[in-house]
Amino acid sequence: MQVIFKKIAEAIWKVDIKSLPLWKQPLISVCRFGYLIVIDLANGQLNLRAMSLVFTTILSFVPLIAVSFSVLKAFGVHNQIEPALLNLFSHLGDKAPELTSNIIGFVDNVEVGLLGTLGIAFLFYSVISLLTKVEEAFNYTWRIQKTRSLAERFSNYLSVLMVGPVLVIAAMGTTASLLNNSVTQSLASVEPFGLVLEFVTKLIPYALIIFAFTFVYSFVPNTKVRFIPALTGGVAAGILWQSVGYIYALVIAQSSTQTAIYAGFAIIFFFMTWLYLNWLILLVGSSVAFYRQYPEYLMSKNQTVSLNNHDREHIALNVLLVIGASFYNRNSPVSVEAIVDHLSCPKQSVEEVLQCYEAAGILYSVGVSSSSYLPATPLENLTVSEAYSAVRHSYAIYSPVHMHNSDTDMALRIVDRVENSIERELGDLTIKEVIEMNASKSENLNVALAGS
- pLDDT tens readout for residues 355-401: 888 888 899 888 655 578 889 888 888 888 888 888 877 654 445 55
Mean pLDDT of 131-141: 87
Structure confidence by residue, pLDDT tens digits, 276-316: 988 999 999 999 999 888 877 766 555 555 667 778 888 88
**Closest alpha carbon to 321 in 186, 437, 216, 180:** 437
What are 375's strand-pairing partners? 363
Reported as a single tens digit per residue, the pLDDT across 197-242 is 666 777 777 787 888 889 889 888 888 888 999 999 999 998 888 8
Percent of the chain with pLDDT over 70: 65
What pLDDT does 80 receive? 65
**Do residues 391 and 356 touch, judged by C-beta distance below 8 A?**
yes
Q: Is the peptide bond before 83 cis (omega within 30 degrees of 0)?
A: no
Residue 334 main-chain phi, psi, to 5 deg: -90, 130
Q: Which residue has the higher pLDDT, 198 or 152?
A: 152
| Nearest residue to 418 (alpha-carbon basis) of 395, 393, 381, 383 | 393
Report yes or no on whether pTM surpasses 0.85.
no
pLDDT in the model for residue 452? 34
In this prediction, residue 176 carries a pLDDT of 59
DSSP for residue 404: -
Q: Where are the alpha helices (DSSP H) in 75-149?
A: 81-88, 95-109, 112-141
Q: Residues 178, 183, 186, 190: is their CA dihedral positive or negative?
A: negative
Whether 446 has a pLDDT exceeding 50, the answer reads no
pLDDT in tens, 14-59: 777 667 777 777 787 778 878 888 887 877 888 888 888 888 888 7
Residues 249-259, mean pLDDT to the nearest whole number: 67
Query: What does the alpha-carbon distance between residue 30 and residue 32 come to, in Å, rounded to a whole number?
Result: 5
**Which residues fall within 8 angstroms of residue 359, CB to CB, at 6 or more apart?**
390, 394
- Name the amino acid, one letter, at 211: F
The pLDDT of residue 448 = 34
Among 172-181, 222-231, 248-257, the least confident range = 172-181
Confidence of residue 116 (pLDDT cuts 50, 70, 90): low
Mean pLDDT for 404-427 is: 73
pLDDT at site 450: 39
**pLDDT for res 23:** 73
- Domains of the chain (ranges; CATH) run 12-299 (no CATH), 309-451 (1.10.10.10)
Residue 192 preceded by cis peptide, ω within 30: yes
Euclidean distance between CA atoms 244 and 250, whole angstroms: 10
**Average predicted confidence (pLDDT) for the chain:** 75
pLDDT of residue 224: 82
Contact predicate 233/285, CB 8 Å: yes
* pLDDT given for residue 133 in this prediction: 86
pLDDT at position 398, please?
Answer: 46
> Mean per-residue pLDDT for 313-328?
88
> Where does the pLDDT of residue 257 fall: very low under 50, low under 70, confident under 90, or very high at 90 and above?
low
The per-residue pLDDT for 228 is 92
How many other CB atoms sit within 10 Å of the CB of residue 222?
A: 22
Q: How far is the C-alpha of 236 from the C-alpha of 286, rounded, in Å?
A: 9
pLDDT at 331 over 70: yes
Per-residue pLDDT at 171: 62
Classify each residue of 141-164 as buried b or exposed e, where b means 16 or more C-beta atoms within 10 Å of its C-beta: bbbbeeebeeeebeebbeebbeeb
Res 114: pLDDT? 52
Question: What does the alpha-carbon distance between residue 305 and residue 351 come to, in Å, rounded to a whole number?
Answer: 12
With cut-offs at 50, 70 and 90, classify the pLDDT of residue 168. Answer: low
φ/ψ of residue 50, rounded to 5: -65, -40
The DSSP letter of residue 333 is P
Which pLDDT value is given to residue 444?
42
